[in-house]
Chains A and B, each alone.
Chain A
Amino acid sequence: MIYLDHAATTPADPRVLEVIGQSMRRDFANPGAVYRIGLDAANLVEKAREEIAALLRLPASYRIIFTSGGSESNNLFIKGTAGGKAACLGLEHPSVVAPLTCAGEKNGEILSGFQKEGRLDPAKICELDDRKVRLLCLSHVNNELGSINDPGEIVPVLQSAAPNVRLFLDGVQAIGKIAIPPGFWDGVAGYSVSAHKIYGPKGIGLLIYDSRFPLAPQVHGGQQQFGVRSGTLPVPLILGLTEALKLALERVGEAQVHLGKLRRHLIAGLEDLSGRLPNLRLRFNSSVSQDHQSPAIVNFSFPPVEGEVLLHHLEAKDIFVGMGSACSAQSKKPSRILTGIGLSEEEARCSLRVSFGRENTIAEVDVFLMEFSRAYETLYPTFARKVG
């Protein structure tokens, strides 16, 4: 099997599984209980919090809230932050766009004209204040394109041109692929993380936020986690997430080099194919340069062949890739992100996303390229024939 869909999820690291297995057997007590074994479990959670805070170099006022995953973290922060309008580019994950727009236009706005190459155009920031935006929600790394919104560039402009606007970043695709430099958190009001994207368990994530600003809970109950997110804490998952985060952050430099090599090899291979296959109209939807681009993701279009059909042809060869659109007659809408950066509906439908992980090799990329070109050549005549 060649797995090239790491932006969807990753296989759990054996070291993470070991930690979870041990904890499942050992740390069963409710961390909210006042007897010894409950306190022991609570101590493990606190230790994990401290470790995560150290790994991410969090300032003292930043809180770590354990959630069920990235979607819940995004929902919690966006819905829980009161006062003023929230906005996004419309290119973010649905768990950012949907909570922002579900409360109506008065509370949420899609800044569709604010993007350039799949990320925020800093030149547009000065318009935010006029639009009464108080919270700007962006993907740190875009889930389909891999484009990066760098807070190091955005925050200084925000602070001078729109000082009332706070920044929230969906970091689900960023952690482990791009480094968190010193000073990263200045001006970042909230940040979400998901464990299963970094070889951790499914069902747990983090919301990191600056507790100097109030955050209203969305799940009410036993007042766990500062009253911000009620619910019994899943100790084994928390320890698993912490281990996964440790492994991801410790090796981020190494990962960047490895993923970057794979990415360059794929891009070069696709360009080569495009030269050799006269019918292949290739378009890279993610940036081919390393500038503002995650090394883990390559998104490209190849009309007229539909991405989903190509995906299933690759599946038949035991190669698994992702796509941003469905060819189902029921859901004819192509990817909102791809059309959002200017692709036609056909180009958006005829696209695939390859996302690399630690275990991928150059040889696997070569097999992918070979099978992609075979499948493309098989399918091209069918799709090219204009019959209705």
Chain B
Amino acid sequence: MTKVIVVRYDEIGLKGKNRDFFVNCLVENIKRKFAGLEVTRLRAPRGRIFVDLPAPMVEACCARLREVPGIASFSAGVALEPDFDRIAEWGIRWIDPLLTPGETFTFCVRTQRSDKTFHKISTECDFEIGSRIMKRLSGKGLKVDIKRAQFVLEVEIGPKQTVVFHHRVPGLRGLPVGSSGEVLSLLSGGIDSPVASYLMMRRGCRVHFIFFENREFLGRGGYDKVLRLAGILNRFQGRGRLYVIPFGAIQLAIRDRCRPAHRVVLYRRMMYRIAQAVARQNACHALVTGESLGQVASQTLENLEAVSRVVSGNVFRPLIGMDKNEIIDRAKKIGTYDISIEAHADCCSIFMPPNPATRSRIPNLESDEAGFPGQSLMQEAIRKMETVELDESR
């Protein structure tokens, strides 16, 4: 018995002439995601992707499909001849264990034909299969309910094979990773930036990460944490890179030579500049940050403007309008929250100003920046940058 997983895609279905590009992208992502698993065949006739696979592989493959952006839903089922008796047999096999003596249980059959030459139309198929199941199980409390069935037996009759299944697992939706291009996300180790990265993956971006580190003062804890976060995020995209920038010298220069109230915004302006340079070197077409309006002192309108001014390309802030609880919910769902809340030193207290400015004025920031060699420190930091190729982990 060949098992089949039917994969339905999301927004790709709305695409026009370039639809094949998106479908191929999704197929490639799924293939890569299945690495190490035994899959017989993967094919994409119009509107669907079918995965033929041996029965023992079904559970593992389904688990991995849950992590692939671009999928609307998928269902595991069986491939059969379009024979009503055999289809009904599978329905009975699945429904019978769900019946409880003395209780009513409702079901219906929904058939779709992509093979329009099939000798019966969909509703006739529903009837043929449904009546066979009823004949066997109506004595055990089974009833038909077309609108609110507790169990829906789905049948897809195609030109080459008929697939029968009964449960739709929701996918991540969105677009397949890589279909939109590559972006660079500023990953901090906190709750927000992993969520922002994930949301961009769902918009079809391959997300690389950049982390600003002060190992001299804070040790390796932050680096390890970010590596683990990137590892989790990478499950949704397969591969990506982490750029680690030594940031201690820049922080020291800003701390020693600039107005304390401006420190945080000045750190961020340097981070943005470095991130933009790294993005350009690596063909990333946008920066991504986890900023959310008003969340902390550096994320007021004025301060966001002050950091945005130093770069000329795209800066995406997918969390800008979300509140903290929404972001936390997302982080829990994608599995980064528990790592994000682990205590780690993200900034030594000597670098923090006692009273950070919430409304920095750009001319003042620029006059502060004239007081330290930003350009050469930036070049030096990029020269010392470490690049970590994140493996295609599952």
Contacts and interface: CB of A to CB of B under 8 A. Distances in A.
A308 B347 CA distance: 12
Interface in A324-369: 326-332, 349
A326 B221 CA distance: 12
Nearest to B352: A329
Interface residues of B, number: 22
Interface string A307-335: 01101110110000000001111111000
Contacts of A330: 343-346
B215 interface: yes
Given A312-B219, A388-B354, A306 B256 contact: no
B256 A385 contact: yes
Interface string B327-360: 0000000000000000111111110111000000
B217 interface: yes
Given A315-B219, A382-B252, A385-B256, A328 B346 contact: yes
B144 interface: no
B343 A328 contact: yes
B256 A329 contact: no
B219 A329 contact: no
Nearest to A330: B343
A382 B216 contact: no
A309 B218 CA distance: 6
B255 A387 contact: yes
A383 B218 CA distance: 15
B217 A328 contact: no
A388 B352 CA distance: 9
B202 interface: no
A332 B345 contact: no
A6 B90 CA distance: 64
A329 B252 contact: no
A331 B217 CA distance: 15
Interface string B209-236: 0000001111100000000000000000
Contacts of B343: 326, 328, 330-331
Contact of A306 (B219, B263, B349): B349
Contact of B215 (A312, A326, A332, A385): A312
B216 A316 contact: yes
Residue of B215, B216, B260 contacting most chain A CB atoms (<10 Å): B216
A329 B348 contact: yes
Nearest to B258: A387
B297 to A, nearest CB: 12
A329 B349 contact: yes
Contacts of A331: 343
A382 B345 contact: no
Contacts of A328: 218, 343-349
B349 A313 contact: no
A313 B345 contact: no
Contacts of A308: 217-219, 345, 348
A287 B346 CA distance: 33
Given A316-B216, A387-B255, A309 B260 contact: no
Interface of B: 215-219, 252, 255-256, 260-261, 263, 343-350, 352-354
User: When A and B form their complex, which 7 residue pairs have the shortest distance between CB atoms, in order from nearest?
Assistant: A388-B260, A328-B345, A329-B347, A312-B219, A309-B217, A327-B348, A388-B353
14 contacts: A306-B348, A308-B218, A308-B345, A312-B216, A312-B219, A326-B343, A327-B345, A327-B350, A329-B348, A329-B349, A332-B349, A349-B349, A385-B256, A388-B263
